[in-house]
């Protein structure tokens, strides 16, 4: 709960802080990495630092948190913190690092806003920071227990052996992996991701997330699209072979298929279908009779990973349909399925819960179409394959 005094000061200074937050987060990361270069090498995603998305995500989350507190000072906006907490646990953030982040964040605030940061202003924003940090630490502690992630990084990362490597398309490779330490495979929910930690040629240990695309008999499967110029995806494609060992954190992620018997819509574009295939696989292996509508968009048949899985899993489900759109179909293809995903020709059953995954323009378009079709916003869940920029999709 934000105190009345701080709420007043935060409200008065939010426009100034909001306007400068991009600059503040840039300087914050510069300071943090100058003091702790190992954090950029071995913890933070340096691709997201280079392209600026993590800076935007941090800035956006603080601004969104402060605004939520002002709108309702007695409520802790836990839902918006869940995504961050899952990511933090998945990469191994420890509680004592919140003090380190605090030190460099507040030094950056003073550097950018100068004399405007009176002791009163500093105290009010300090309160916001610790409300957010304490809320995150509480959710993270619970998640570490649930996911058996352990507090120590040595307990987080487990070795897995690649039992099969399979080329899905020219640019997508699947890896079926089994724990190399003989312990059972960890529990996961359909839609969740694992973090993969890889040692790169310069000695850095970089972490990336990959949604589980299925799994069976004590094994997990994840699938990686080679991104142009992508450090880790390129490295995995070029070097991770059958019989090799790879380090994974336990499955985490706040977007997963909820149990129930209501209708489900799974919409994806490109490599965004990995969590959807895991959800379909779960529905098929549990003999679900739910109404399932799968919608997928891709460039063409050859770039469409899991095309056969989609067909086979849909066929196994008694109440499932699949609708595939290709921008540039090869050969004969129905005109109404040519182009970008368009839900106007797809029947969305009443009471549908929707799961979306794909690039931002796709998420925006499909979410808009679902709202138009009468699906309430609370029933539309989405996963993004990068930091959530809190754009409210
Ligand atoms: C929850 C979640 C689930 C995911 N699931 C999957 C999945 O199932 N399958 C999958 O393939 N991916 C998935 N991803 C994405 C994955 O984690 C990686 O982001 C992806 O593999 C790219 O990593 P990379 O190291 O190859 O690229 P990076 O080297 O990190 O580069 C990423 C992007 O940044 C750009 N970039 C890099 N350096 C610079 C620079 N200096 N200036 C400007 N731009 C730059 C690159 O060109 C590229 O477009 C998921 C991500 C999340 C968060
Ligand atoms: C109140 C304090 C903090 C806030 C508001 C915050 C916010 C965020 C946000 C918004 C994300 C992106 C989540 C997503 O959408 O994927 C993120 C990811 C991350 N955070 Fe934090 N964070 C905080 C504290 C910390 C601390 C203490 C550390 C440890 C030094 C840390 C390290 C990371 C890392 C490594 C990631 C993964 C993303 C990447 O590297 O691209 N954070 N955090």
DSSP code per residue over 111-172: HHHGGG--HHHHHHHHHHHHHHHHHHHHHHHHHHHHTT--SSHHHH-EEEEEEEEEE-SSSE
The CA radius of gyration of the chain, in Å to the nearest whole number, is 22
Q: How far apart are CA 81 and CA 65, in angstroms?
A: 9
pLDDT digits (tens, 9 = 90+) for 233-245: 999 999 999 999 9
What the block records as the tokens of 68 is: 């939520």
* pLDDT value of position 18: 87
* pLDDT value of position 126: 94
Is the pLDDT score of 143 beyond 60? Answer: yes
pLDDT digits (tens, 9 = 90+) for 181-230: 999 999 999 999 999 999 999 999 999 999 999 988 899 999 999 999 99
Is the pLDDT score of 392 beyond 60? Answer: no
Nearest CA to ligand 2 atom 19: 88
* pLDDT value of position 153: 60
What the block records as the tokens of 264 is: 């489900």
Q: How far apart are CA 176 and CA 160, in angstroms?
A: 9
Residue to mutate (ligand 2; options 25, 49, 101, 389; most atoms within 8 A of CB): 101
* pLDDT value of position 393: 46
Is the pLDDT score of 17 beyond 80? Answer: yes
pLDDT digits (tens, 9 = 90+) for 302-331: 999 999 999 999 999 999 999 999 999 999
* pLDDT value of position 79: 73
Q: How far apart are CA 171 and CA 169, in angstroms?
A: 5
Band of the pLDDT at 391, cuts 50, 70, 90?
low
* Ligand 2, CB within 6 Å, residue ranges: 39, 43-45, 48, 54, 57-58, 61-62, 83-84, 87-88, 91, 93, 97-98, 101, 129, 132-133, 136, 387-388
Q: What angle do CA 19, 43, 179 make, to 5 degrees?
A: 135
The answer to whether 247 is a known catalytic residue is no
- Whether the CB-CB separation of 279 and 191 falls below 8 Å is answered with yes
* pLDDT value of position 141: 92
What atom in ligand 1 is closest to the CA of residue 208? 17
pLDDT digits (tens, 9 = 90+) for 51-71: 888 888 888 888 888 888 888
Marked catalytic residue, from 29, 127, 129, 140 = 140
User: Cβ of 221: how many Cβ atoms within 10 Å?
Assistant: 21
Q: How far apart are CA 221 and CA 215, in angstroms?
A: 5
- 3-class state of residue 92 by DSSP: coil
What atom in ligand 2 is closest to the CA of residue 105? 2
Mean pLDDT for the stretch of residues 45-53: 92
* pLDDT value of position 274: 98
The answer to whether 140 is a known catalytic residue is yes
Q: How far apart are CA 303 and CA 270, in angstroms?
A: 8
Instruction: Classify residue 67 as exposed, middle or buried by CB count within 10 Å of its CB (0-12, 13-18, 19+).
Output: middle
Residue to mutate (ligand 1; options 190, 208, 277; most atoms within 8 A of CB): 208
**CA dihedral for 329, 335, 341, 347, sign (positive or negative):** negative
* pLDDT value of position 382: 94
Residue to mutate (ligand 1; options 40, 45, 47, 202; most atoms within 8 A of CB): 47
Alpha helices in 197-306 (DSSP H): 231-239, 274-285
Is the pLDDT score of 155 beyond 90? Answer: no
Marked catalytic residue, from 29, 98, 355, 382 = 98
Mean pLDDT for the stretch of residues 38-52: 94
């Amino acid at each position: 709960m934000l105190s009345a005094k701080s709420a007043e000061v935060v409200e008065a200074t939010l426009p100034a802080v909001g306007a400068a937050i991009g600059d503040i987060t840039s300087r914050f990361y510069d300071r943090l990495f100058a003091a702790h270069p190992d954090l950029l090498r071995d913890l933070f995603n340096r691709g997201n630092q280079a392209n600026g998305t993590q800076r935007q995500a941090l800035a956006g989350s603080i601004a969104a948190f402060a605004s939520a507190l002002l709108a309702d000072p007695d409520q802790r906006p836990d839902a918006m913190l869940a995504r961050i907490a899952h990511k933090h646990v998945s990469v191994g953030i420890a509680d004592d690092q919140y003090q380190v982040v605090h030190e460099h964040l507040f030094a950056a605030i003073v550097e950018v806003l100068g004399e405007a940061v009176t002791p009163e202003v500093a105290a009010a924003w300090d309160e916001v920071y610790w409300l957010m940090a304490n809320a995150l630490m509480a959710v993270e502690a619970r998640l570490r227990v649930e996911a058996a992630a352990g507090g120590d990084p040595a307990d987080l990362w487990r070795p897995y052996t690649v039992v099969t490597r399979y080329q899905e398309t020219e640019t997508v490779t699947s890896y079926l992996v089994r724990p190399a330490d003989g312990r059972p495979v960890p529990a996961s929910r359909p839609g969740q991701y694992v973090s993969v930690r890889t040692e790169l040629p310069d000695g850095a240990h970089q972490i990336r997330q990959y949604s589980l695309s299925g799994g069976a008999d004590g094994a997990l499967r994840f699938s990686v699209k080679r991104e142009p110029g992508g450090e880790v995806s390129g490295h995995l494609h070029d070097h991770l072979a059958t019989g090799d060992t790879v380090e994974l954190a336990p499955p985490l992620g706040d977007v997963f298929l909820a149990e129930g018997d209501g209708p489900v819509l799974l919409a994806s574009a490109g490599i965004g279908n990995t969590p959807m295939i895991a959800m379909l696989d779960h529905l098929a292996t549990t003999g679900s009779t739910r109404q399932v509508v799968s919608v997928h968009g891709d460039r063409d048949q050859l770039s469409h990973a899991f095309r056969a899985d989609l067909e086979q899993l849909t066929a196994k489900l008694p109440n499932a349909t699949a609708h595939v759109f290709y921008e540039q179909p090869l050969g004969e293809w129905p005109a109404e399925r040519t182009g970008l995903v368009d839900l106007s020709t797809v029947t969305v059953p009443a009471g549908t819960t929707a799961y979306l995954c794909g690039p931002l323009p796709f998420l925006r378009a499909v979410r808009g179409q679902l709202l138009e079709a009468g699906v309430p916003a609370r029933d539309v869940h989405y996963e993004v394959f990068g930091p959530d920029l809190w754009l409210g999709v």
